[in-house]
Amino acid sequence: MKEKLHEIQQRYNELSRELANPEVYNNQERYKVLAKEHKDLQPIVEKAKEYLAVLEHIEEDMEILDGGDSELKELVNEEIDDLKARKEQLEEELKMLLIPKDPNDDKNAIVEIRAGTGGDEAAIFAADLYRMYVKYAERKNWKVEELSSNPIGIGGFKEIIFSVGGNDVYGTLKFESGVHRVQRVPVTETSGRIHTSAATVAVLPEAEEVDVDLDPAELRIDTYRASGAGGQHVNKVESAIRITHLPTGLVVTCQDEKSQHKNKAKALKILRSRLLANKQAEKEAEIAAQRRLMVSTGDRSAKIKTYNFPQGRVTDHRISLTLYKLEYVMEGDLDELIEAVKIAHNMDLLKQTAPGESL
């Protein structure tokens, strides 16, 4: 590990020198790339400095123990156990920091929520999940923009798609992909029976134009008149957009905006993100064939959480974690749940590292 830490320190110093170069600063694209790498390495370098200092201190103490000064030996014996314990702790922390980072973690996210089994109650639950994520985004000072929706009259959504922008958005939300199940008495239920309904959540990294090259010749773009609530433009102006990606058959529609241009821009944003997610899923499938990860990051068919309202609990089935704070979770207090899954995922990555692979 020492050798790897020295290499990282050397790279960090190189980056520091490059970032101080006026020529690099004047090239903002290159400066942005280097600054990001520098920022990513900083917590590792800071932890490495402490770790290497502890190692040096232990070596000095061991030399004293091999010497003949009995008074110094007594002092060293009092501290060496603490130093060794600190060394082990720092090694574990460094292993976590050295886990290869998903290059998409820093991206913004496109979140798609769809009502599943359960009829109107599933659509209402989809709306509850949307509100929960909006509340969470507010806590994180993230920006939310609704891209597309298919509302029902009683306050639910058959489908709602929105973007979330800010720091480390995708890396934080990606573990929310999957089936979310709810157990409660629906507002539409007159006999007071508890129903089980579900909604699916898909979290995609928001793709930039450089991530996905869209060939206009491979797109079929249709316009049509918007339907549903929406004002005077509905059914009078062909502002709604349907984009079909011919090679994959992916279809994206958007009709929320009165402007055809805005609807097209939003539809293209969703399409790029879905294509990037598909590319990423193929890559992860190849890795999963070699390594079976405990925590799923993208399986939209897997049941990941149950929200039980009568008991006030939420359970994450992937890590067998139950919290009796459902009221707070639905108000956007998601940090404890998300951090627990992140830790489990990282621990599993450590376990899955082959013996010959050094973190």
- Contacts made by residues 138-142, CB under 8 angstroms, sequence distance 24+: 138/332, 139/332, 139/333, 140/166, 140/167, 140/172, 141/166, 142/166, 142/167, 142/169
* Measured CA angle at 90 (ends 88, 92), to 5 deg: 70
Tokens (6 digits) for 193? 């029976």
Using the 8-state DSSP alphabet, how is residue 218 labeled? Answer: G
Tokens (6 digits) for 181? 């199940």
Q: Which CATH fold topology does 108-359 show? A: Alpha-Beta Plaits (3.30.70)
Ranges assigned E (strand) in 82-142: 109-115
Using the 8-state DSSP alphabet, how is residue 303 labeled? Answer: E
Domain coordinates in residue numbering, the chain: 2-97, 108-359
pLDDT at 42: 93
**Which residue from 97, 9, 112 is spatially nearest to 53, judged by alpha carbons?**
9
Whole-prediction pTM: 0.72
pLDDT at 358: 45
Q: Print pLDDT tens along the chain (359 aa).
A: 788 888 899 998 999 999 999 998 888 888 888 998 898 899 999 999 999 999 999 998 888 888 777 777 777 877 888 899 999 999 888 988 888 788 889 899 999 999 998 889 999 999 999 999 999 999 999 999 999 899 998 889 999 999 999 999 999 999 999 999 999 998 877 778 899 999 999 999 888 766 787 888 999 998 887 765 544 444 456 788 999 999 999 999 998 888 888 899 899 989 989 988 888 777 666 545 544 443 444 445 579 999 999 999 999 999 999 999 999 999 999 999 999 999 898 888 877 654 444 44
Ranges assigned E (strand) in 206-312: 219-224, 240-245, 250-254, 303-308
